[in-house]
Each structure stands twice: as C-alpha cells, then as structure tokens.
C-alpha cells in the first residue's frame, strides 16, 4: 500500500525541523541522532522518500534538509531516490555537493537517469565530473547523454545483461547472478555476437528450465522485437505494451545492442504521451513537467499561441454575422438561438475529432479505416442532430413561431452533422499530410464550426424567411 | 520489430483464400497443407496472429477461417492468441467449438482472460463447461469471474508463484522451475503462511543471489505493496507505475492472497483509463471497446446525453442575448465580436480545466494544491487575457471606433480571466463533492462560459455606451 499523504507530510516536517534548525545552529547536532532517522527512512520506499524530498525543496525551500536526508541513506539507495526527483531538484542537490560526493551518487544511478541529469549540468561541472570517471564509464555516459529527447536512445539504459554467443546455460546463469545488483532487469537476457551484434534473446524463465549444458544459441529466440536508437519513444512504449515485454532492446544502425527500455520506463512514457495528447486536445503545447511545477512563463507560452490564432479565426464568425445583418434585423429572435446552435455543433464536432485522434493514438483506428469511420459517423451524427433538433424545436415555436422552429431545427441537424463530419475527417486529413492528427483540437474544431455554423444558420433563415415572406 | 500492416494483410488474405474456399468445397483439402501454414504462423507472434484473426472475423466475416487458423496452432499458443481478441470475437470462436474443444482452449488461457471470456458466455454453455472442469479449477474460475469490472479482482490472475513460509531458497527455486510454464510471472514471488495470508515478497533476482540454505522468511520483504480485490483498477495501475513493479499482489479482506496484477495488464489499464479521461474531456461516456468497434447505438448513447443537456444550458446564452436586445439594437457592430469573445473565453477555460483534470489523474495536483493553482492561474490567465485583448483591440477600432475597442478589450480580459478561473476551479469543486473531476469537460466549461460571457460582454457594453452617451 502506498503511504498516505499525511504520513509522508509528518515525516517531512520532522526532517525539516531537525535539519533546518540544525543548519541554523551552524552545525550543531540534530535533535534526533542521524542513525535513528536513517532507520525510519529505511522503512520507506524510494519513490516515497523522493516525494518527501520534493516537498522539502519545493514547498519549504529547504534544500539543505533534502541534502542531509539523502546523506542518511546508503549510497545506492540515495542514488535511486535522486532518480525519482524532478530534474531541477536533482540539479540543485548535485549543485550542493562537491565533485567527489556528486560522483559517488552519479556512479550508482541508473545509466539512463544519470545521462538525463548530466545533460542538465553546466559545462564546467560536466567536465570536472567526466575527468574523474573511468574511461569506460565516461564513454557510456557521453553516448547516452547524446541522444535526442523523445527517442529510444534517450530513455534506454545500458545496464542490461548481455550473454556472449556460445555460452552454456549454466555460464549464462552465473553471469545473471554476477550482474544482478547492477542491471535494471535480469529477467530478459540478450545474446550478443563478438562484435556486439544482437543475435537473440531469452527470458530468465527459459534459461532456468533449460538443461545446464545447453548452449544459449540453441535456446534463444532469434527474431527479436527491438527498436533503433532513433525510434520515437511512443513507438517503443507501444511495442512494450503490445508484446507484453519486460524490456525492449535498442540497437544502433548496425544492429549492435546499445541498451534496453524497461517496462516501467515504457509505462512512464505512455503516461507522458497520454498527458501530451490530452493537452494537445485543448491546443496546449507540450509541457516537460507537471502543471503544478512548470514555470508560469512556459505555461503562458504553451497556451497563448493557439488562443491568439483562434481569436483571428473567430473573426470569420463575426464576418458571417455582419454579412447577414439584414436577416438578423428582420428577425431579432434568431440571435437568441445562435450560441446554442454553434455551441452544439462545436460540441459534437469536438467529440468526433477526439474519438478519432485517440483511436489513432492507440492504434485502434488507421488511415485505411477512413471510409468505415465516415459511414459510422454519418449515422451517429445524423441521429445526434435529429435528437437535438427535436429538443430545440419546441423552444423555437415558443420564441418565434413555426417558421423559427423550422429554421432552428433544420440548422441544428445541418450544423451537428457538418460539425461532426468535419471533426471526424480533420485528423485523417492532418495524418495524410504527415501532420499530427492531435492538432485537430477541440478549440480548433469548435472555432471552425462556429464560423461555418453562423453561415449555415443564417443561410437557412434567409431562405425560409424569404419563402415565408413570398408565401405571406 | 512489429510486423507491418502489409505483411499481416497478405498472410490474412492467404488464410482467407485457403480456408474459405476449403469450406466452400465442403471439406476438400485446403490449397496449402496445414503443416506448411502452421509453420508460417509459427514465425509470427501471438498479438500479431490475433490481429490477423480479428481482421478475418471483422472485415471478412470469415469466422470459419479464423477457427481453422486457431486449430493450426499448438493448444497453449491458440489459447494465448485467443486472449488477444476482442470479447465478442472470442465468444464467436468459442461458439463455433464443441464443449471438449472449448474446454481445451479455456484450460490453457490465463486465468484472468478465461474469467473475462466466461462472463460473456450464456448460462447454458457456462454450466456445460463448468461441469467438465476439475473442482479446483472450477472454483478458481467462478471466483475470478465474480469480481466487479473496474476493480483489482477483475483484472488479476491467479497464476502466480506462491512460496510456503519456511521453505529454503533452494526449495523456492525448485518451485519456480516447476511453475515456470504456467505462472504469468515467475519474477516476483509471494510468501504465504499456511492459511494463505500474504506475509512477504521477494524478487527472483533476490532469490538467485541468496545462499541456497537460507529460509525465505529471512530474505523476503515484509512490507508488501498490495491491493485489495475491490480497489479501483486505476489505483492498481498507479501503484505499479509509481513503484516500478513487475506485479502487484491482490488480497481479500483477510489479507489472504488471491492473485496478482502484472505490469503488462497494468499498462493496458493505464491506457484504457487515459482513453476514458480523454473521452470524458469531451463529455463522451465510457466506451468498453475502441471507437472503431463499439456498436453505433452505444456510441450514440454515450455522446447524446451531454449534448442534449448542453442544448438546454445554452439557452441561458440566448436568454442573455434577449435581455440585452436594446444594447444590441443600438450598436449592431457588437454582435460581430460575440462569437470571438465567448469562444476565446471557452478555449482558455477548457485549457485550464483540462490541465487540472489531467494533473489530478496523474497525481501531480492534489486537492490541497487548490490555492497554489489558483494563484498560478490568476497570473497566467491574466496575461493570456491581456495578450488576446491587445490582439482584438485594433479590430475593434476598425469596426466600431474607440468605444467599441474599449468594450471588446475589456470584455476579452474579463471573460478570459473569468473563464480560466472557472475552468480551473470546477475540477476541484467536483472532487470536493466526491464527483469525478473529469466531468469538467470542455463542452460543459465552454457552455457555461458562453452564457456568462454574453452577460459580461453586454454589461460592459451597456455601461460604456451609457457613459459615452452621457459624455457625448
């Protein structure tokens, strides 16, 4: 069971009181002996300690208390906890340590998290730390840190278990035991040729039930599900989900193995990508951090672009209204129904767009399904429009008589149907032109439907009223 | 690498031609010998075969070809593939098998997937199959099938590795080897007391590096992260993600172990929940299947409820307009800006609501963060409103002179600020009253802002125009 907020909060306050007052007394002994505090922390899991440290730094500005708490933990544990903190907190903590202390922590971090942190450091610090590292470690770090964000290379770790081609099962098991403390996972093993080429994979489970004298090459699976370093991280997460993998091996252009993406990192990527899609659905740009932490200026920038663009797009609605000024003047009651009609069309259209965008993101809907989806939307949106027209018609009669009711009902069906089909098709069109289908956001779709809805509504009104006028 | 659509499609068409024509020739030998086809299928992974079968049934209506393909596979493989199909296809396939054949497949399925399928069967079929099962298996199935959808019990599997308290490490390793073929995962082990109580857990990794003679009770972790059967599935997925688990044990009310939720199932749940949240953000109800497969009538029902409700809510906007008819008549140019102003407020408000809803869903934002979020939104929305006001003011001057520009700019700031704060606060209010914060959907938020925006705009207009009139 996860610790509840109250427990974490209480412990945080304990740590705060102890270390902040200790620091203010200029090095005086903390109220509780560090051993006792270390013991208490020992009962808490790393992500929970991470949350405490985050609260210490974020809410209380008590960086020194966070650093002191980290110092209470064993080194590998401290490195693990550090990996759960947001980048800027990691940076602040490492900034408070001297090179030797920082290096001790960095060495124990997962290679992927170490590379991320490394990329945040200033040039001087980076150089200073690199100089102190062993050559092999330095090259591994430099390589991992060099991959572009958002691709497999940037989320993979180099801490995997490689088995040399030709090893026996018992040799391989020995190797698993040796690498167990350092590897991110020992449950999926990768068989490499002498030149580092990935030639097969096997699960630890397979290895354990195989005859000890067998050669790994005879039991491994040769057709390996893998990704290249430059594959998009969302594709990696999808492969992991589709094939229920514990880890996905990552290779360079020459099929040489360079790392793995583990299931837990793939799950984090999937959550990040879902958040990004949800935000895009409202025309919000990609946020690297949670909404509670992202700098206000960034939040402003990520929101303002489309809002301003859509202000200008909305001018078309205004132009439509201006064009039909005579119709409006002749029957002012019509304005009463304007927000209702364009709002309804926008809602139905945003629904249709969202269903397609999410269907595409999860792989449920492909470009080839376009025709089928169009047919389905025609039926559903037609029914929706009819239902909503029936709901609004009585109000039309009440407000303006039969002619207005007819205008409003006919407009409702037309606008809802048009809006839904537009919302449904837009993601396909974007995909077709190699653009992100998620650009078909609710604000964009509703804005377009607003403008077209105005024209549809007043065109129908002008026609019906002219007919009624001619009839009268 | 996942197989591309073309390869899968080609193989599907091969299978289709072979088995459909074979069936039409009334039992004549298929064009290719089954051995050869089985060999080709052997090179393809289960989820990919599942996709082929799904296409056979869905696009070609060739159920018999799907059943024949399944019969080519070894039994455990066939059961595995079956688990990747949508429920209604599983049902169709099992419906085409006699009881003995169906039972053979069911017995090899994962216990969680078997229970799901079982729940879809008719009463008679269920009884017939249950009668043929061994008692222990029958009870396991009945129990798993009894849990309500959406909770831990409904997604867990009973195929885990239980280690009896008191066993030595080498005994435990032997047990792992024995259960390896059947267990969903052998990488996390659970230590149970004689009465089935969950008293500890250890990873296979820990077990492998422990001294063979040690007792498991001495190396296990006693503080187990777990869920009870009735815990919500999204909470389960969140625990798995937060603590990077391979599997999460599930216990009944008496702390007796009843199953595990594996990392891959947790990832599926997370995706399902993200889809649900995205749909809710557009006022679409929960869809049990992908948008391409859900019945049209269901899709209609899931979309129509809020659309119709919002038609009536939108009447308030109309009423607002009716109330200010005199102002509108006095300055018809004002109507030009109406869609723009209420649309902008709606967009900004929907953004703010979405940011909060997703922040709450991912655990980034808690109820206690309300004040902090309000302060941040005030600053960001104020800046957004100001930017948009500056964008629209020149158009105001062009269309109606300084007074109109002033009205439009002032309205823009007020409506954007009000809309954003409303959108931001609504999820917190809903959460406070134990309602789903995701109900604060874009359509709901924009509809409310439409109505209030009308009032804000024309109130400001009336005031400014009266002032201008008095001044002139």
Mapped to the 3 state alphabet, what secondary structure does B172-234 carry? HHHHHHHHCCCCCCCCEEEEECCCCEEEEEEEHHHHHHCCCCCEHHHHCECCCCCEECCCEHH
Tell me A155's DSSP state.
H
H/E element, A261: strand A257-262
> Under a CB-based contact definition with an 8 Å cutoff, are residues A161 and A190 in contact?
yes
> What pLDDT is stored for residue B237 in this prediction?
95
Asked if pLDDT for residue A167 goes beyond 80, the answer is yes
* Residue A303, CA distances (Å) to A236, A291, B316, B351, B359 in order: 28, 12, 28, 8, 16
Restricting to A residues 400-459, those with a Cβ less than 8 Å away from any Cβ of B are 442-443, 446-447, 450-451, 454
Bridge partners for A197 per DSSP = A256
Domain boundaries for CATH 3.10.580.10 within chain B: 162-272
Percent of chain A with pLDDT over 90: 64
A residues 77-96 near B, CB within 8 Å?
none
User: Averaged over A40-45, what is the pLDDT?
Assistant: 82
Please name the residues in contact with B7: beta carbons below 8 A apart, sequence gap of 6 or more: none
Q: Tens of pLDDT along A393-408? A: 999 998 888 999 999 9
Q: Is the pLDDT of residue A328 over 50?
A: yes
* CATH number assigned to the domain covering A5-146: 1.25.60.10
If we measure between CA atoms, which residue out of B203, B200, B197 comes closest to residue B251? B197
Q: How far is CA B392 from CA A308, A415, B343, B345, in A?
A: 9, 27, 13, 13
Q: What pLDDT is stored for residue A42 in this prediction? A: 79
Give the per-residue pLDDT at B31: 52
- B162-272: what fold? CBS-domain (3.10.580)
Decide if B223 contacts B141 (C-beta within 8 A).
Answer: no
Nearest Cα residue to B347 out of A235, A365, A283: A283
A256 touches chain B (CB under 8 A): no
Domain with CATH 1.25.60.10 in chain A: 5-146
Q: Is it the case that residue A12 has pLDDT exceeding 60?
A: yes
Residue A39 has pLDDT above 80, yes or no: no
- What are A256-279's pLDDT values in tens digits? 999 999 999 999 999 999 999 999
Mean pLDDT value of segment A299-327:
89
Give me the mean pLDDT over the A116-138 stretch.
Answer: 91
Give the homologous superfamily in CATH for domain A162-262. CBS-domain (3.10.580.10)
CA A433 to centroid of chain Cα atoms: 23
Candidates B12, B85, B175, B205, partner chain A, best to mutate (most A CBs within 10 A): B205
The two structure tokens encoding residue A378: 């025609």
pLDDT tens-digit series, residues A416-450: 999 999 999 999 999 999 999 988 899 999 999 99
A355-364 pLDDT, tens digit per residue, is: 999 999 888 8
- Residues of B with CB below 8 A from A268's CB? 241
Domain with CATH 1.10.357.20 in chain A: 296-471
Q: Which residues does chain A have within 8 Å of residue B223's beta carbon, measured at their own beta carbons?
A: 43
Taking the C-alpha atoms of residue B416 and residue A441, their distance in angstroms, rounded to an integer, is 19
Chain A residues with CB-CB distance to B5 below 8 A: 366, 368
User: Does the pLDDT at position A21 exceed 70?
Assistant: no
pLDDT attached to residue B472:
41
Query: What is the average pLDDT value for chain A, to the nearest integer?
Result: 89
Residue of B nearest to A304 (CA): B384
Q: Which run of H or of E encompasses B79?
A: helix B75-83
Cα distance between residue A413 and residue A430, in whole Å:
26
CA dihedral A116, A119, A122, A126 (to 10 degrees): 90
pLDDT at A33 over 60: no
When CB atoms are compared, the residue of A279, A306, A315 closest to B354 is: A279
CATH number of A296-471: 1.10.357.20
Structure confidence at residue A472 (pLDDT): 41
Q: How far is B87 from chain A (nearest CA, A)?
A: 15
- Contact indicator for A147, A154 with CB cutoff of 8 Å: yes
Count of CB atoms situated within 10 Å of the CB of A340: 27
pLDDT at A471 over 50: no
ipTM for the complex? 0.88
For A175-216, the pLDDT digits (tens) are 999 988 888 899 999 999 999 999 999 999 999 999 999 999
* Choice among A13-22, A404-413, B142-151 with the minimum mean pLDDT: A13-22
- In 10 A of CB A309, how many CB atoms? 15
Q: What is the pLDDT along chain B (472 residues), one digit of tens a residue?
A: 445 667 777 777 777 776 655 545 554 445 555 666 677 787 888 998 998 898 888 888 888 888 988 888 889 999 999 999 999 999 999 999 999 999 999 999 999 999 999 999 999 999 999 999 989 889 999 999 999 889 999 999 999 999 999 999 999 999 999 988 888 899 999 999 999 999 999 999 999 999 999 999 999 999 999 999 999 999 999 999 999 999 999 999 899 999 999 999 999 999 999 999 999 999 999 888 888 888 999 999 999 999 999 998 888 888 888 898 888 877 777 888 988 999 999 999 999 999 999 999 988 898 888 999 999 999 999 999 999 999 999 999 988 889 999 999 999 999 999 999 999 999 999 999 999 999 889 999 999 999 999 999 999 999 998 876 654 4
Superfamily the domain B314-471 falls into = SLC41 divalent cation transporters, integral membrane domain (1.10.357.20)
Q: Give per-residue pLDDT as tens, A236-246.
A: 999 999 999 99
């Amino acid at each position: 069971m996860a610790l509840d907020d109250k427990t974490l909060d209480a412990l945080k306050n304990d740590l705060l009181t102890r270390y902040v007052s200790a620091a203010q007394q200029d090095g005086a002994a903390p109220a509780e002996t560090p051993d006792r505090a270390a013991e208490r922390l020992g009962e808490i899991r790393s992500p929970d300690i991470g949350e405490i440290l985050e609260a210490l730094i974020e809410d209380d500005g008590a960086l020194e208390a966070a650093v002191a708490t980290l110092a209470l933990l064993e080194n590998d544990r401290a490195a693990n906890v550090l990996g759960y903190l947001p980048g800027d907190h990691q940076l602040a903590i490492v900034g408070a340590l001297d090179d030797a202390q920082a290096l001790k922590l960095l060495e124990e971090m997962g290679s992927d998290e170490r590379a991320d942190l490394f990329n945040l450091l200033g040039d001087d610090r980076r150089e200073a730390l690199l100089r102190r590292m062993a050559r092999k470690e330095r090259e591994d770090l430099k390589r991992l840190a060099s991959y572009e964000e958002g691709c497999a290379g940037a989320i993979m770790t180099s801490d995997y278990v490689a088995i040399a081609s030709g090893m026996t099962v018992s040799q391989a098991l020995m190797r698993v035991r040796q690498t167990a403390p350092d590897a991110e996972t020992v449950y999926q093993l990768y068989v490499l040729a002498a030149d580092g080429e990935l030639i097969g994979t096997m699960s630890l489970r397979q290895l354990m039930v195989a005859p000890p004298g067998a050669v790994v090459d005879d039991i491994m699976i040769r057709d390996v599900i893998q990704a290249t370093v430059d594959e998009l991280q969302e594709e990696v997460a999808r492969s992991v989900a589709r094939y229920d993998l514990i880890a996905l091996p990552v290779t360079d252009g020459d099929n040489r193995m360079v790392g793995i993406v583990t299931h837990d990192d793939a799950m984090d990527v999937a959550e990040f990508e879902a958040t990004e899609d949800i935000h895009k659905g409202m025309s919000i740009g990609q946020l690297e951090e949670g909404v509670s932490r992202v700098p206000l200026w960034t939040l402003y920038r990520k929101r303002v672009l489309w809002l301003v663009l859509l202000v200008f797009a909305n001018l078309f609605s205004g132009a439509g209204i201006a064009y039909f000024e005579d119709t409006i003047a002749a029957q002012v009651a019509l304005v009463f129904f304007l927000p209702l009609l364009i709002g309804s069309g926008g809602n139905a259209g945003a629904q249709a767009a969202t269903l397609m965008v999410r269907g595409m993101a999860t792989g449920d809907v492909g470009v080839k399904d376009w025709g089928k989806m169009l047919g389905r939307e025609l039926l559903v949106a037609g029914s929706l429009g009819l239902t909503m027209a029936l709901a609004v018609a009585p109000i039309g009669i009440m407000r303006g008589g039969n002619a207005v009711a007819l205008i409003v009902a006919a407009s409702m069906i037309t606008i809802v149907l048009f809006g839904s089909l537009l919302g449904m098709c837009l993601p396909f069109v974007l995909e077709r032109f190699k653009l992100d289908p998620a650009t078909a956001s609710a604000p964009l779709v509703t804005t377009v439907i607003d403008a077209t809805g105005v024209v549809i509504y007043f065109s129908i009104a002008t026609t019906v009223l002219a007919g009624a006028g001619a009839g009268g």
